[in-house]
Amino acid sequence: MFLGPSNTTGKVDDAFIFIVVSSVILLAAVTICMVVFLAKYNRKKHPRPEQVKESILLEVIWTVIPTILVMFMFYFGWVDFEYIRNPPEDAMTVHVTARQWSWLFEYDNRKESDVLNVPMGRPVKLLMTSADVVHCLFIPAYRIKEDCVPGMTTHLWFTANESGTYDIFCTEYCGVGHSHMRSKVVVMRPEDFAAWRRSPPGNTVADPGPKLLQSKGCLGCHSLDGTPKVGPTFKDLLGRKETVIIAGGEKNITVDGAFIREHILQPRSATVKGFPPVMPTIPMTEEELTAIVAYLETVK
Ligand code: CUA
């Protein structure tokens, strides 16, 4: 069996390769027969058509062989599907919240992250939901994906075999920021993961700002380096002159701490001109708001 970066990779690839290889062999056999018959039974060699009699043997062969093949395909598909849908009892649970347009991963000790950190060699179970619309978590290297649906909990599981970083994509169109809704699986050695898990959560370190922007999902739509994304960049935000759309009319403002606070609490009250009015409402405490505004003042 092909061993990939996770236990699920080989399972899916085995079934896939089996189906592709048997299809290619069948295609080649049918094509060769067609060409041979064209050469052998063309009009020049056979000016008068012959009556073809039935052949029980042929009928049996071309019924039995494809039946066996599709039963094999069904068997592989079923066994691997069973395996991939049923996480083992001892799997480590990570809660996943998808939202427009970022991912939040929460661990059993309330640690939060915007990337999926996992230890190598241990089964990980993702319990997933959505805060707004339907999203879909896809890890291409592991060949697994599942929808994240508001009001429902769906699941995925895998065991990472190799350390490294693997892409996570959202594969359900979920609005203007859909293509930005990316993250990573970061597979660590078990001792590194244990150390990361024990390290204090973001909001107890000296400057919680950057951590908050990540875990609240702000960076899904706003860059720190000037790149325009779904929303305006955070670079040089404080003191910037912007035209905003308020209640259908335009207004020129200078961005200050009060505007940022109000805009986070009531995103649709004003929209910066040139950007879609899609900012979601994200729950924030007073301390978190203060920390974010304080940090944004330093982003130059
Ligand atoms: Cu979330 Cu597409």
Q: For 151-189, what is each residue's pLDDT tens digit? A: 999 999 999 999 999 999 999 999 888 988 999 999 999
Query: Distance (Å, rounded) from C-alpha 161 to C-alpha 108?
Result: 22
Task: Tell me what pLDDT residue 296 has.
Answer: 86
The pLDDT, as a whole number, for residue 2 is 52
Ligand 1 centre distance from Cα of residue 233 (Å): 20
pLDDT digits (tens, 9 = 90+) for 131-140: 889 999 999 9
Which percentage of the chain shows pLDDT scores above 90? 43
* 272 domain residue, yes or no: yes
Q: Say yes or no: 194 and 115 in one domain.
A: yes
The answer to whether the CB of 181 is under 6 A from ligand 1 is yes
Predicted pLDDT of residue 188:
94
Residue 148: give its domain's CATH number: 2.60.40.420
Number of domains in the chain: 3
Strands (E), the chain: 92-99, 102-106, 112-113, 116-119, 123-130, 135-139, 144-148, 154-159, 164-170, 182-188, 241-246, 249-254, 271-272
What value does the mean pLDDT take over residues 78-102? 92
CATH number of the CATH domain containing 248:
1.10.760.10
Per-residue pLDDT averaged across 288-300, rounded?
85
- Rounded distance from Cα 179 to ligand 1 centre (Å): 7
- Which helix (DSSP H) or strand (DSSP E) does residue 29 occupy? helix 7-40
The verdict on the CB of residue 213 being under 6 Å from ligand 1 is no
The average pLDDT across 79-92 equals 93
As a whole number of angstroms, the distance between CA 132 and CA 151 comes to 9
- The verdict on the CB of residue 183 being under 6 Å from ligand 1 is no
Closest by alpha carbon to 289, among 257, 255, 261? 261
For residue 196, which amino acid is it? W
Q: How far is CA 141 from the centre of its chain?
A: 11
- On whether both 108 and 80 belong to a single domain, the answer is no
Residue 2 within a domain = no
Say yes or no to pLDDT of 65 above 50.
yes
pLDDT above 70 for 204: no
More confident residue, 266 or 29: 29
Residues 147 and 239 in one domain: no
Could you say which of 133, 165, 198 is where a domain stops?
198
Tell me what pLDDT residue 94 has.
96
Residue 110 lies in a domain: yes
Tell me phi and psi for residue 22, to 5 degrees: -65, -35
Looking at the structure, tell me whether residues 167 and 100 fall in a common domain.
yes
> Does the CB atom of residue 170 touch ligand 1 within 6 A?
yes
Strands 92-99 and 123-130, bridge-based pairing: parallel
- Strand order of the β-sheet with 182-188 is 116-119, 182-188, 164-170, 135-139, 144-148
**What is the model's pLDDT at position 279?**
85
Whether 241 and 289 map to the same domain: the answer is yes
What one-character DSSP code corresponds to residue 2?
Answer: -
Do 188 and 113 meet the contact criterion of CB atoms below 8 Å apart? Answer: no
Is pLDDT at 217 greater than 60 in this prediction? yes
Query: What local confidence, expressed as pLDDT, does residue 297 receive?
Result: 83
Q: Is residue 204 part of a domain?
A: no
Amino acid letter for position 41: Y
Which residue, of 85, 102, 132, is where some domain finishes? 85
- Would you place residue 201 in the very low, low, confident or very high pLDDT band (cuts 50, 70, 90)? low
Q: What is the CATH number of the domain that holds 46?
A: 1.10.287.90
Q: Supply the DSSP string of 83-142, one letter for each residue.
A: HHHS--TTPEEEEEEEETTEEEEE-TTS-EESSEEEETTSEEEEEEEESSS-EEEEEGGG
- Mean pLDDT on 259-288: 84
Cβ–ligand 1 contact at 99 (below 6 Å): no
Within 10 A of 101 (CB to CB), how many other CB atoms are there?
25
Q: According to the model, what pLDDT value does residue 64 have?
A: 95
Torsional sign, CA 165, 171, 175, 176 = positive
Whether the predicted pLDDT of 194 surpasses 60: yes
**Do 80 and 101 lie in a common domain?**
no
pLDDT of 202 > 60? The answer is: no
Q: Is the pLDDT of residue 203 over 80?
A: no
**How buried is 129 (Cβ within 10 angstroms: 0-12 exposed, 13-18 middle, 19+ buried)?**
middle
pLDDT at 216 over 50: yes
The protein residue whose alpha carbon is closest to atom 1 in ligand 1 is 135
Please report whether residue 252 resides in a domain. yes
Same-domain pairing of 114 and 142 = yes
Among 90-94, 196-200, 218-222, 236-240, name the most confident range.
90-94
Q: Within this chain, do residues 142 and 162 fall inside the same structural domain, yes or no?
A: yes
Q: Whole-model pTM?
A: 0.74
**Percentage of the chain surpassing pLDDT 70?**
97
In this structure, the answer to whether residues 136 and 113 fall within a common structural domain is yes
For strands 135-139 and 164-170, give the pairing.
Answer: antiparallel
Is 97 in the same domain as 193?
yes
- Confidence category of residue 264, pLDDT binned at 50, 70, 90: confident
Classify residue 148: in a domain, yes or no.
yes
pLDDT at 9 exceeding the cut of 60: yes
What values do phi and psi take at 93, rounded to 5? Answer: -95, 135
**Which ligand 1 atom is at minimum distance from the Cα of 174?**
2
d(CA 105, CA 117): 9
Helix (H, G, I), strand (E, B) or coil at 274: coil
Of 85, 102, 118, the last residue of a domain is: 85
Question: Which amino acid belongs to residue 185?
Answer: V
Assess whether 286 and 260 both reside in one domain: yes
Residues 106 and 60 in one domain: no
The predicted structure's pLDDT at residue 206: 60
Nearest to 212 by CA among 96, 291, 286, 266: 291
Determine the average pLDDT of the residues in 226-247.
85
Give the structural domain span for 141: 92-198
Report the distance separating Cα 86 and Cα 105, nearest Å: 21
